[in-house]
Amino acid sequence: MSGTQDTQGLVPAAQALSRRPSLEELRERKDRTRRHLEPTGDVMTISMGPQHPSMHGVYRAVLDLDGEVILAVRPEIGNLHRGVEKLCEHRTYHQIIPLTDRLDYISGFAMNHGFCEAAEKLMGVEVPARGRYIRTMTHELCRISNHILWLGTSIMDLGTQTFFTICFRDREYVLDLFEMLTGARMTHSFARIGGVAKDLPDGFDHRCRKVIDFLPKRLAEYERIIKQNRIFLKRAKNVGIFTSEDCHAWRVTGPTLRAAGIARDLRKDEPYAAYPEVEFDVAVEYNADVYDRFLVRMKEMRESCKIIRQCLDKMPPGPFLAPDAAHSLPMKKNVLRDSAAMIQDFYQVFRGPQVPRGSVYRCVEAPKGEMGVYIRSEGGAKPARVRFSTPSFYHGQAVPALVEGEMVADMIAIFASVDVVLGDCDR
Amino acid sequence: MGVMDDPLRRPSDAEVGAALQQNEVMGGPVRLPGGIALPVQIERVLGFGRSFSFWPLLFGLACCAIEMMALGGSRFDMARFGMEAMRASPRQADGMIVAGWCTIKMAPRVVRLYEQIPDPKWVLAMGSCAVSGNVWDTYHVVQGIDSLIPVDVYVPGCPPRPEALWQGLEMIRDRVKQSRHAYDGLRRIPAREVLLHGEPRP
Amino acid sequence: MNEGLDTSLTVVLAKLEKRFGGRLRKQTECCGDLTITVEPEDWMRVLSFCRSARELAFDQLDCLLGDHLPERTGAPFEVVVHLLSHTHGHRLRVTTPLAEGQDLPTITGLWPSAGFDEREAWEMYGIVFAGHPDLRRLLTTEDFEGFPMRKDFPLRGTVGGRIRTDLRGKI
Amino acid sequence: MSDPVAQLIFLIIKAIVMPVLIILIVAFAIFFERKFAGFFAGRVGPTYLGPWGSLQSFGDIFKLISKEDLIPAKSDKPVFKLAPYIAFVPVFLVMAVIPFGPVGGEANLFGYRFDYVIASFDAGLVLFLAMGAMAVYGVVLGGWSSNSNYSLLGGLRAGAQMISYELAMGFSAAGVMLMAGSMSLIDIVDGQAGNFWDWYWIPQIVGGLVFFVASIAELNRTPFDLAEAEQELVAGHLTEYSGMRWGMFYFAEYVNLVVVSMIVSTLYLGGWRAPLEVLDFIPGPIWLFLKICFLIFVYMWVRWTIIRYRYNQLMSIGWKVLLPLSIANLLVTAVVISAVN
């Protein structure tokens, strides 16, 4: 990868370590860094969570400790379970969209997008070019806001709060763009079946360019802070090694998998929206530790800026919603002018889309990992079964495999580095 | 134990006064060890000081927690009123921002956290989910956190903007200044009563 | 949209047919997804073949889910798995119909990530996975009664879980 | 009025004024901590209570005093109640032996001799180390008596950490002791008479740095705040403390900050002495105050910039880096001094 050049550390030690280890080497390294202790009987059990400052929500992990070393972890999730999937069976496809962005509320649009992609695959709706570009751009803005938030909170978990507020400062700029585009800061409900809800507002292009010109400078600053901080290197290097085979076995995807040396990115491998038409590199690192997960995400944010810039450059004219009267809503600006659009609006709102029978599974690359949506339709406006196989659900499951044998402080770092959000996990 | 008889009845002021004397109900002025109430002027001064030192519990449930964190971030900066010292331990907190939907699995923990906060304490229900359950009218979600713990201020929104939360916190500060609490006149540890004796099990 | 299967899935299908022949109950495809329906007895054999065969090499379980089709009276339940091969890049859906109370062997031995999924399918639909190491309720409270994702379970109200909610404004 | 009576009156005044002053400094140190945290994070920090929010700490004190006093049901109650005092009292005692101006000499106040120290104690340095060791008990007992796993882990971490860093601290302070030829802090300041290049920070640069790093650990501040490690142990040994008991721990931490800053400036930065002899007309207490402010700022700077060490890394730094360095420093100092003499 030519792109790995700029992620090489400024610190000599980081350079020495950034050569690619083989899978065997990683396995051996993982074996070496974890402490294999036999339970001696003096086991201290502490319950971390649901209310714990670094459990990123309400994850609960019951830890068996020998001193500070973790012998076993028993995860408990479900504290935010609210039956989204059951609720989806009682909602039409259009009404499901607002439910989806409360799954992973930090990257709400990615969830909207995943559901709409699946529904469109089922219904056979073709999204017009402008809709695809707006989706791609919003998805990448989402990725940036997610990763910045993640960066702030995970470094806070390592012990400094300054970084946290600094990251929030920059996240606000992205949220401003969201507010301009969708009207909401976090839960956008912006995607529609067949496109997006609204066109780009006036002046968005200019403001968005300003933000994405400015962000990489800030990212470079953050990266300098990370890479030159010896304590951070000590805390993050060779900690929480999770090889690619572990990742496959536990369905750990996204940045964690890419940090293990697998260049898997659904944006490239199973392209959707406008991703085939923009150029970007897949961020890959090879050491599979916490540090490399940091690097992968830092690089992904840069790539996202690149994608957004290309989307803005190439933004095609035309409709942003599919002119598909059977499945998608009409463009709102037409509803009050055009009787056909008005009828379509009434029809879609009161009856819902008319969907063929069948089942479909579609994955998109959400910021946290691969987000799959399974829809089984029995015809009609409501799905018969919806399943969101969200990344955090599996990442939360993999926590015992990730942290057993590490120390308590490392568990915090590792848990932060796989990025679990509980709304996503519990559904 | 007159106040305790009927859990659904709001007691009268006289009953509350009597119960306060016997330390059966919560609220009322700060008491010295002998049970002597402080003069109201001192209470005012304390309230004024306290209103600048409201430390919420560092506890987020769902989406709204992210906006709560945004309020702590650089742009909104809740530190201006001395609120940035969010305590991770409920023992050191002065109140709770219930940020997000509360499920029946989480409910006993929310109540427990509320109980662990020492008096005087205030609760802000942030977001439509905590206020009323929002769209999650399903089998696993508590329809409004006020069925579990006494709530001082409701901030609707999904999620509320940080400015809205800010206004809610300002209203909390007003209540802090006046030493008014949502639990004034309620039985001691009301929520636990409901959880333990309310039918069926939690 | 149904352009038919792409070549790699044709290979998968041929391979599976060669190995299992008539034991595959049916193959369907919808929107480019290949679905194989197998009998519950063959569940383990088909899936372990999918995991181990070199041309298939499904090294990742994308998700496992339960489903309820009450109109199918003989076997109202269904378990669906989505498999993904990182080596070849293809996906496969395998389903099996299940009667009420019928067990299914666990596949946590093949893919550890099935652990939570199977727990969820059990608590939501009551599908028992024989041999699962830790088949407890996952998302709902431990004393939850009933299987909430079944079609006859009401969406609203506190039918299974218990917290009294009718005291609003009273306490 | 005879001299002993005057000295007694002075002593009483000093013993009252000094703690009050320190508490005021502490209140503002807490305010500045929050303000600096804001500045480092691109925020403004407390703004509204008092001018620039400067009375923020008093709001906190009002709040903490009037909070309910919760004692966990299963805690060891006498120990639980005692622990804050054990943490609080020793740090105040150290103040008595730190000189904040010239001691001895001719009459300088209303015809009487005014010593700028509460107790001219011959083994001030030892008292400081001993009281630092005492304060560990507060933390450990507080953690243990809370009957909470987080508290226990925090207390154990604090115990192990403070004991191992105290060694490095003691050895590096011993270098200063050798140079001054005395364990009295008064003599140590006297030994640094002259301009700022005569202070001990130049000959004792290694020992000084070791002492500074170890003092951060002693103060339980980032990067060595493992006892409290909010993201790991909720609030560590303080998890179960509420109201004013927690406030006492919190306060003790900042009093300790001030006291340790005083000790560092006394040992290495010339105590109350002016950096240049021509500036001697400015009274000693003011110089000491400025040095304390500077050191407190440095401590805060470190705290809000650096992330936390892991527990085993912390111990290995303590035992494998700081302790050998401080012993080597002591040996070299001893050899050089005996060679010169």
| Chain A touched by C57 (CB under 8 Å) | no
Which pLDDT score is estimated for A9?
41
Got the DSSP string for A389-410? E-HHHHHHHHHHHHHTTSBHHH
Residue B196 has pLDDT above 70, yes or no: no
Q: Is D62's CB within 8 Å of B45's CB?
A: yes
Which pLDDT score is estimated for C43?
87
Residue B187 has pLDDT above 70, yes or no: no
Tell me how many degrees the CA angle A88-A89-A90 measures, rounded to the nearest 5: 90
Tell me the C-alpha distance between A345 and A340, whole Å.
Answer: 9
Shortest Cα distance from A351 to chain C (angstroms)? 20
Mean pLDDT over B131-159 rounds to 84
Q: Is A408's CB within 8 Å of D232's CB?
A: yes
Q: Are the C-beta atoms of B73 and B45 separated by less than 8 Å?
A: no
Chain B's closest residue to D238, CA to CA, is B89
More confident of the two residues C66 and B88: C66
Q: Give the model confidence (pLDDT) of C121-142 as tens digits.
A: 888 888 888 888 888 888 888 7
| Chain C touched by B147 (CB under 8 Å) | yes
Tell me how many degrees the CA angle A15-A367-A371 measures, rounded to the nearest 5: 130
Tell me the C-alpha distance between D138 and D79, whole Å.
Answer: 9
> Phi, psi (5° rounding) for residue C31?
55, 35
Top residue of B57, B64, B71, B75 to mutate, by most chain A CBs within 10 Å, is B75
- Residue B105 has its nearest CB partner, among C140, C157, C159, at C140
Torsion A318-A319-A325-A326 (CA) sign = positive
Q: Where residue B12 falls among pLDDT bands split at 50, 70, 90?
A: low
More confident of the two residues B197 and A367: A367
Got the DSSP string for A25-94? HHHHHHHHHS------S--EEEEE-SS-TTSTTT-EEEEEEETTEEEEEEEE--TT---HHHHHTTS-HH
Partners of chain D (3+ Cβ pairs below 8 A): A, B
Residue A90: list chain C partners with CB under 8 A.
155
CATH class in words for A84-426: mainly alpha
Query: Between A and C, how many CB-CB pairs are < 8 A?
Result: 95
- Residue A251 has its nearest CB partner, among C31, C113, C148, at C113
What ipTM was estimated for this complex? 0.84
Q: Is B138's CB within 8 Å of A58's CB?
A: no
Query: Between A and D, how many CB-CB pairs are < 8 A?
Result: 84
Shortest Cα distance from A186 to chain C (angstroms)? 25
Q: Which amino acid is at A190?
A: F
Residue A422: list chain B partners with CB under 8 A.
62
Tell me the C-alpha distance between B92 and A176, whole Å.
Answer: 35
Tell me the C-alpha distance between C38 and C20, whole Å.
Answer: 10
- Please list the helix, strand and coil fractions of chain D in percent, rounded to the nearest 5, in that order: 70, 0, 30
Pairing of strands A195-196, A355-366: unpaired
Scan for tokens 């610190």, then name that residue. Answer: A11
Chain A's closest residue to C153, CA to CA, is A86
Q: What parts of chain D have a pLDDT lower than 50? A: none
Domain ranges (residues) in chain D: 73-340
Q: Is D46's CB within 8 Å of B89's CB?
A: no
Which pLDDT score is estimated for C144?
78
Tell me how many degrees the CA angle A198-A334-A318 measures, rounded to the nearest 5: 60
Shortest Cα distance from C67 to chain A (angstroms)? 7
Q: Is A372's CB within 8 Å of C62's CB?
A: yes
Pairing of strands B95-99, C60-68: unpaired
Q: What parts of chain A have a pLDDT lower than 70? A: 1-19, 39, 41
The pTM score is: 0.86
Q: Is A58's CB within 8 Å of B75's CB?
A: no
Top residue of D149, D310, D311 to mutate, by most chain A CBs within 10 Å, is D310
Domain with CATH 1.10.645.10 in chain A: 84-426
- Report CA A232 to chain centroid distance, whole Å: 24
Q: Is A98's CB within 8 Å of B88's CB?
A: no
| Chain D touched by A52 (CB under 8 Å) | yes
Residue B88: list chain A partners with CB under 8 A.
52-53
Q: Could you tell me which residues of chain D have a Cβ less than 8 Å from any Cβ in chain B?
A: 34, 37-38, 41-49, 53, 56, 58-63, 65-70, 230, 234-235, 238-243, 246
Partners of chain C (3+ Cβ pairs below 8 A): A, B
Q: Is C138's CB within 8 Å of A77's CB?
A: yes
| Chain D touched by A238 (CB under 8 Å) | no
Q: Is A157's CB within 8 Å of D231's CB?
A: yes
How many residues are there in chain D?
Answer: 341
What is the torsion angle, in degrees rounded to the nearest 10, for the CA atoms of residue A85, residue A91, residue A93 and residue A97? -70
Q: Are the C-beta atoms of B80 and D38 separated by less than 8 Å?
A: no
Shortest Cα distance from A185 to chain B (angstroms)? 8
Which pLDDT score is estimated for B16?
56
Chain C's closest residue to B10, CA to CA, is C170
Q: What is the mean pLDDT of chain B?
A: 74
Top residue of D32, D67, D81 to mutate, by most chain B CBs within 10 Å, is D67
Q: Are the C-beta atoms of B104 and B83 separated by less than 8 Å?
A: no
Q: Is A81's CB within 8 Å of B140's CB?
A: yes
Q: Which amino acid is at C48?
A: S
Q: Is A394's CB within 8 Å of C113's CB?
A: yes
> Does an interface of 3+ CB pairs under 8 Å exist between D and C?
no
Chain A's closest residue to D36, CA to CA, is A162
Q: Is C65's CB within 8 Å of A90's CB?
A: no
Which pLDDT score is estimated for B5?
47
- Residue B89 has its nearest CB partner, among D43, D68, D235, at D235
Give the DSSP H or E segment for D263. helix D243-268
Tell me the C-alpha distance between B7 and B10, whole Å.
Answer: 8
Tell me the C-alpha distance between B180 and B135, whole Å.
Answer: 31
Which pLDDT score is estimated for B10?
54
Q: Which amino acid is at A310?
A: Q
Helix (H, G, I), strand (E, B) or coil at A240: coil
Q: Which range has the worst mean pLDDT, A204-208, B159-163, C166-170, D76-80?
A: C166-170
Q: Is C60's CB within 8 Å of A251's CB?
A: yes
Q: Side-chain half-sphere of C78: how many Cα atoms within 13 Å?
A: 21
D213: CB partners within 8 A, 6+ apart: D168, D322
> Which domains does chain C carry?
2-113 (3.30.460.80)
Which pLDDT score is estimated for A153?
87
Beta sheet of A69-76, edge-to-edge order? A44-48, A60-66, A69-76
Residue A185: list chain B partners with CB under 8 A.
67, 70, 159, 161
Helix (H, G, I), strand (E, B) or coil at C128: strand
Q: Is C60's CB within 8 Å of A77's CB?
A: no
Tell me how many degrees the CA angle A280-A286-A290 measures, rounded to the nearest 5: 100
For the domain covering B55-196, report its CATH number.
3.40.50.12280
